[in-house]
Amino acid sequence: MLDQEDTAKLHALLDADPVGNASVAAAVRQRGSAAPGKGRTGALILGIDDGAPGPEAPRLASACWLGSNIIPVSADAAAGALFGQAARALRRRVSSIYGRSDAVLALFETTGWSNHREVRAEQPLMMITERSSIEPLPGVRRSRLAEFAAVERACAAMFTEELGFSPYHQGAAQYRERVRGLIQAGHSLITVDPESRKIIFKAEFGAVTDHAVQVQGVWVNPQWRGQGLAAAGMAAVVDYGLRLAPRVSLYVNGYNTPAVRAYERAGFHHIGMYSTVLF
């Protein structure tokens, strides 16, 4: 288990894969330390040293965030299996395991957990480092706290459509606070129809670091689907994202062909594969 003195080594490991490790890097930056979180359920970070001989302190070869979600960091299948053994021994209740595929699938298999709802084994990890070549969707902007109720409804609709259950089942107050925090941080983007005042398109930056931002929650209102708004909306999201970091990334379910094609049209290219296990 990593502690305060391991923080610099952890940052070096996270920086080696700034896109793949974006969510953990953002969480560590917010905490300011590799040390365990407070309380019995506070997130902790496990590490595996590189084992290189010599007088210097060993470097981290891989790590694993263990909280309400489990996220392997720069891990291969062998390291994932070791982290799976640790997760099984700790007997933590988690919502998901996600990250680069080899580590996630090996980790999950090793836990032996059978209470999962779904395994999404193929989720292309995609990235863009320059403005999109297509015209951005007009009117995309940061949402405002005064629009919280409408943004919350759109976020909940997207969550329910994507995962098959309401986000409020896992804690309504926590979910609302998460949405509110995204708005306050300027990480919630929307387009509003000028006549109906309904949200047409939305997306959020779920993780933001100095090296990369990770887009989540991309959603087009069903009333406006089939008009090519997703690609144009993502072009606008990229413009905002590149103001925060030099890379804009996301991962998407491989079976969601329309979404994959929309991101490709916006200029995202494939850089790897993610997997997610949902509980």
Model confidence band, residue 170 (pLDDT cutoffs 50, 70, 90): confident
Over pLDDT 90: what percentage of the chain? 91
Dihedral pair phi/psi, residue 41, rounded to 5°: -105, 10
Residues of the chain with CATH 3.40.630.30: 128-273
39 has pLDDT over 80: no
- Return the pLDDT at 53: 65
Residues 6+ away with beta carbon under 8 Å from 258: 230
Cβ count near 115 (within 10 Å):
6
Name the pLDDT band for 207 (thresholds 50, 70, 90): very high
Q: How far is it, in rounded angstroms, from Cα 225 to Cα 220?
A: 6
Average pLDDT over residues 104-113: 98
In angstroms, what is the C-alpha Rg of the chain? 19
pLDDT the model gives residue 57: 73
Q: What's the whole-model pTM score?
A: 0.93
Average pLDDT over all residues of the chain: 95
pLDDT bin (cut points 50, 70, 90) of residue 137 is very high
Q: How far apart are CA 24 and CA 46, in angstroms?
A: 12
Residue 231 has pLDDT above 80, yes or no: yes
What pLDDT, on a 0 to 100 scale, did the predictor assign at position 58? 83
Residue 56 has pLDDT above 90, yes or no: no
DSSP-derived secondary structure letter, 199: E
The one-letter amino acid at 77: A
pLDDT of amino acid 85: 97
Strands 96-100 and 269-278: antiparallel
Rounded mean pLDDT, 256-268: 97
Residue type at 189?
L
Domain 128-273, CATH among 3.40.718.10, 3.40.630.30, 1.20.1440.130, 3.10.640.10: 3.40.630.30
**Residue 181 C-beta-side C-alpha neighbours within 13 Å:** 9
Residue 83 has pLDDT above 80, yes or no: yes
Amino acid at 253: N
Question: Measured between alpha carbons, how far is 208 from 94 in angstroms, rounded to an integer?
Answer: 23
51: confidence class by pLDDT, cuts 50, 70, 90: confident
pLDDT score of 54 more than 70? no
Within a 10 A sphere around the Cβ of 272, how many other Cβ atoms? 17
Contact call for residues 63 and 48 (beta carbons, < 8 A) = yes
Is the per-residue pLDDT at 193 higher than 70?
yes
